Amino acid sequence: MKELFKYGFILALICMTAAGLLAGINMLTRGRIHNQAQAEELNSLKEVLPAADYFEPVKENDTILYYIGKNPHKITVGFVFKTGGKGYSSVIETVAGLTPDGTITGIKILNQNETPGLGARICEVKDDKTIGDVLRGVKQESARKPWFQQQFSGKKTVELDQVEAITGATISSRAVIESVKKRAVEILEMTGKDK
């Protein structure tokens, strides 16, 4: 019985030490993690609305509804919004850029947990290299974008039904298309712009 208490005490001491170390590391890295998340968010905003130099959040009760993208002359060049749609196995979170006339400037999948090889193909970058390119030593572009996501660029909200769904991943494709279209229409209505 004495040994049982001894081992229990040692285990409790190990657990308290580990919990204390984790809490300390969390406190030390919290600010850096927050700053990194903000930098990634800003990069995503710039990626989908490159004409904007800075972004003003539009909030309702501490919740960001969307961002207004402005150029250096403080003229609104578009809006950026986040949206999510239920895919086959997860909610697919997307950020999209939108001009005041209702044209999508680009989208980026922020988070998805779809089936690899099927629904996850919404983030797939096509490899356009040929055997001749490989033999000649042609380097692959480092900043290519997923082909599914590129289809959105330059389309009006009413034209988003023309985005080609991925064969074998129709549910995931439709989730992105429908969520972007629905949210874009809502943003245009909120801002009083035409579709």
Q: What is the 3-state secondary structure (H, E, C) of 33-55?
A: HHHHHHHHHHHHHHHHCCCCCEE
Q: Is residue 87 part of a domain?
A: yes
Same domain, 98 and 42: no
Q: Is residue 61 part of a domain?
A: no
Least confident span in 10-19, 43-52, 72-81, 158-167? 158-167
Report how far residue 178's alpha carbon sits from residue 100's, in angstroms, rounded to the nearest whole number: 19
pLDDT score of 2 more than 90: no
Q: Is residue 38 part of a domain?
A: yes
How many domains does the chain fold into?
2
Q: What is the rounded radius of gyration, in angstroms, for the C-alpha atoms of the chain?
A: 23
Same domain, 24 and 114: no
Same domain, 4 and 89: no
Same domain, 33 and 86: no
Same domain, 40 and 92: no
Same domain, 38 and 81: no
Q: Is residue 54 part of a domain?
A: no
Full-model pTM: 0.72
Same domain, 27 and 97: no
Q: Is residue 59 part of a domain?
A: no
Given this model, what pLDDT does residue 19 score? 94
pLDDT digits over 82-128, tens only?
999 888 888 888 999 999 998 999 999 887 877 676 767 777 777 65
Same domain, 44 and 108: no
Report how far residue 128's alpha carbon sits from residue 126's, in angstroms, rounded to the nearest whole number: 6
Same domain, 184 and 118: yes
Same domain, 19 and 91: no
Q: Is residue 65 part of a domain?
A: no
The residue segments making up the domain with residue 140 are 77-191
Query: By C-alpha distance, which of 32, 89, 81 is closest to 52?
Result: 81
Percentage above 90 pLDDT, the chain: 27
Cα dihedral sign, 117-123-127-128 = positive
Q: Is residue 67 part of a domain?
A: no
Same domain, 175 and 117: yes
Same domain, 95 and 146: yes
Q: Is residue 70 part of a domain?
A: no
Higher pLDDT, 73 or 136: 73
pLDDT digits over 142-191, tens only?
456 788 888 888 889 888 888 887 777 778 888 888 999 999 999 998 88
